[in-house]
Chain A
């Protein structure tokens, strides 16, 4: 019995482990390949993106996906940092675009989520439905009118065109409302009887209680906006204002030698934030799903 149990548990762990390995392999590949020299990258992956015709029918002419570098080298990193100062500029562009969105959206959304979950007023459900609808819309749906709006407000080709609409996106409202629904209404009743107004209830009770939700929201927003590509491409003409995501996503064949290191530098803040705040993050997304 005991042995059978251990065997079963081990087998299950093994299967789940293999799936886990497959899921994280792209991260591992990016990391180990970032330690190769440019020459090694060129030898291994030079064939990627070549015209089909040139190699068609010839066997054995494939890219060679390698996990372990022949010789560990930090040359890629050196080249990114020293030869290409534009990487750093764009890295900071990303930071200065993403941070205001995170802070702003979390603040604005927390307030609105309180109204949608804990206050009773006419048209509440309809209004919330409208929020959810826009959240589901792909960016392209409101592309034209958005462009006109941003232009009218004089924000075209400035980072404001990215930041300000980002602050008012509906996702934060949706997510934080889920968390606040979990808080029993009795708490608020009790606080009201003690003479607290809604603002005080919000600041002293609700905000501390939804901390995991706030943490999860911050991480999800960070991941989402750190990776944005469409908005900057459309709203920012100036290449020096672009975030790193736009630049990296356009890395072409000639840059491939340093692309892995550049990706690592870009990925690092996200992975670190994630590992640092993982328990919050997991608790956060878990709670958001429990109550519909």
Chain B
């Protein structure tokens, strides 16, 4: 037994079996089944129809709306999140008082339950809410935040608020790993602040960045929960996401469209991850 366990490949089997079985059963096989359904005319006893479901899907207006909204949301919110949290982490990394308390406060939004978020969200962004009350007191017209294009920004703000602390902590750790004398040397050699940031800070933060970007993408999909609970199945057009679309297809039992959409979404995410992995691998070789 002991000897058997010492060989890597067979040991790997032993360590991976519990996770592997469950993972296959609840994630891998369901996913393969989903892909299979996306090529069939119906989920039970249907026949192979090739890409028909996909063509139909691409013609659907609400699908296209969902795609462009999801893409827009991630393309805006993830870079915004990375920039803001890196900025905050760099400020926090400089000397401040009560640094520990500040850090605690930044992470707290992570533990606020959905229900509280929803209530505060309503209090702030409702037609009769506080934000409009403040606007009104400064003499501006009130805005129907959730029922106009501005809903997009409300969702982005909620996303930033909830997740920024997590990324600040990640970046802070990365920053503290960079030896101080690198900056010293750079300064003596006449490198300006921007140059130092580009050639030292960003280079040494690459692997942190990789992790932050992955986590930010995951978390950007999770805002759906709050959005859904606030605005329901059919929110304003500007925040109708892929998850809304898939949810609605599930409710209307249009399994073909749902699985085809899921497969397309999977391919997009796969592409993003592969690019990230390639960048990370190249960076690691470069560092060694």
Contact = CB atoms under 8 A, between A and B. Distances in A.
Among B127, B164, B214: residue with most chain A CB under 10 A = B127
Given A59-B136, A270-B111, 10 more contacts: A23-B105, A26-B109, A62-B136, A115-B12, A138-B243, A140-B258, A164-B26, A198-B5, A282-B169, A286-B170
Q: In which size bucket is the chain A interface?
A: 35 or more
B127 A55 contact: yes
A95 to B, nearest CB: 14
B34 A30 contact: no
A156 interface: no
Among A55, A63, A270: residue with most chain B CB under 10 A = A63
Nearest to B18: A108
A142 B97 CA distance: 47
26 contacts: A16-B91, A26-B120, A30-B116, A48-B128, A56-B127, A62-B136, A63-B130, A115-B12, A121-B9, A133-B270, A142-B34, A145-B30, A148-B30, A164-B22, A168-B23, A197-B2, A197-B6, A199-B14, A226-B113, A227-B114, A248-B113, A259-B115, A263-B115, A288-B211, A289-B211, A292-B210
A140 B109 contact: no
Interface string A110-126: 01101100011110100
A251 interface: yes
Interface residues of B, number: 109
Interface string B86-116: 0010011011111001111111111111111
A141 B249 CA distance: 11
Contacts of A204: none
Interface stretch (B46-54, B55-63, B171-179, B185-193): B171-179
B147 to A, nearest CB: 8
B72 interface: no
Nearest to A264: B116
Contact of A111 (B18, B210, B270): B18
A271 B34 contact: no
A183 interface: no
Contact of B262 (A131, A142, A275): A142
B208 A289 contact: yes
A111 B12 CA distance: 9
B265 interface: yes
A111 B5 CA distance: 14
Given A49-B126, A282-B169, A223 B110 contact: yes
B114 A140 contact: no
A245 B114 contact: yes
Interface of B: 2, 5-6, 8-9, 11-12, 14-16, 18-20, 22-23, 25-34, 37, 43, 88, 91-92, 94-98, 101-120, 122-124, 126-130, 132-133, 136, 144, 161, 164-166, 169-174, 177, 206-208, 210-212, 214, 217-218, 221, 224-225, 229, 242-243, 246-247, 250, 255, 258-259, 262, 265-266, 269-270, 273, 277, 280, 283-284
Contacts of B95: 9, 12
Contacts of A198: 5-6, 11, 14-15
Given A120-B8, A198-B5, A61 B211 contact: no
Nearest to B256: A144
A121 B105 contact: no
A50 B16 contact: no
A100 to B, nearest CB: 13
A292 B119 CA distance: 37
Nearest to B24: A168
Interface in A211-230: 223, 226-227, 229-230
A52 B127 contact: yes
B231 to A, nearest CB: 12
